[in-house]
Structure 1
């Protein structure tokens, strides 16, 4: 099958550190190539892939100080995809929905994975107009605000089983990984660790739009609780993997409807159980009592820290292998691709 994967241009594929969508696109692209398909990846020039790569910008836009208007680069990418579309059987979009008017007019099939939160005032009218656009959700919960859209499947993310090292023992600290933003509640992660009496390592990216939040809300907590919390900034590569694998547990105290939570399965992959708030897709992703403990508030999270050592880290890893490998994800997408091609 001739498949095009169209990634957002904010980060490279795979990303240097933070960038869940770009990481998923990388895992899917490489799994499709390994399965023998002819794959073209539309991504940044610093992306690394076994597929054919088509770049419309030199590097990840969020890491290029000369870039101000990222939309310009995505429009150029979309035009490049359209010019090449007759070379593909299907084009798979992963970015923001500006491609919808063009995708309707492509000479091949297309599908879009929705990676973010769906907002009824915004996405409702959009997908009412584009009711024919085939969509894939990354969790069933993600669909809740837009149940009538043209959903083809729910496909949970996956990753190769050998990316993170399995650690059967774990360590003596908690970890918070991701993005330093209000809905991820890094402040609650600090409170949970402080009350549980365990050190907390925080590795989180601060985006430009969230610098005021970090300065006003989080930095004072870091200063006040420096004996408990170690803030490491954005961490990538082997250092990130080792920090996750050597932790006792991952804290995931989100207070928004998280569409998936890539870091959850990264933790499971290395045997590190998660303590996660019951929000969004968390109950779909976490096997409560196996790969982690699902809680409803800070008090329950503190209690969960005391109990998390009773979970079998090998069982946590097995839960990952059963449900969240890249090969499983790729096979699920191939099923959608084939069904759409049969409709032509």
Structure 2
């Protein structure tokens, strides 16, 4: 029994004539007759009583009729469901991003994406780059915006220190043998040091408008919890300069770090993206090379074909960032670096 045979069977049952049924389903009448005969042979029962000008259903045909209608209707429903999914009218998108990106870039992109594809269910995961990359490798996320610094020799790559994962490939490059990730660069952002505007006068004076890592290490430091790429950047910069940081508070997400700095618990090194609307913080530019800027990349697996929703998100992300860059809407210290931009 095939779906085609059931469609032909219903056409004959509805019209009562083989010739008219063949026209309705757009096949030659001999072809339709052969398929009906094959269906009867398969079932071992005659489905129609054939008259000179009209055919009627037998008892076996009457039994098959509601079942055939249900099967054909279910198949058509399945086709419509898949068509809706392929057309991005339904579906699911699982996106990860660091906290600094969730409150800035990602929120703006998701607003545009949701307006264009309101039927797509959005699931957002917030965390450090290492954790997010591990989640992509585990299949828990479709894609994620993570931090990557390929120019920092010997430094950890996203995922390199997470759950024993192998390091991920450089931005926009083919994955290394055995790796399942590709990182596509989209933004370049500046790191800055922040302190409380109402904090210690000596601290504010000591930092000034510019400061190097050696000078910063003399002051109490508020640092993110393990799993944040920014934490590794700061600690690696201190180690490279031969200084030991004075850690006042260790742990917490980005909002918590900024709040602790505002309360005068210490200074922190943060991306410039997170400073919009933070009037209680004083900004100090960082002296140095390599570690004072970082790349934001879109990460996804290469061993699994992306969903239509994931492809649409990538296109939306690049379009929004390119437009924002052209209109001068990116925050100070942030620039769009995708080659198509």
TM-score range, shorter chain: 0.3 to 0.5
- TM-score of the aligned structures, taking structure 1 as reference length: 0.32
Which structure is higher in RCO with an 8 Å CA cutoff and minimum separation 6?
2
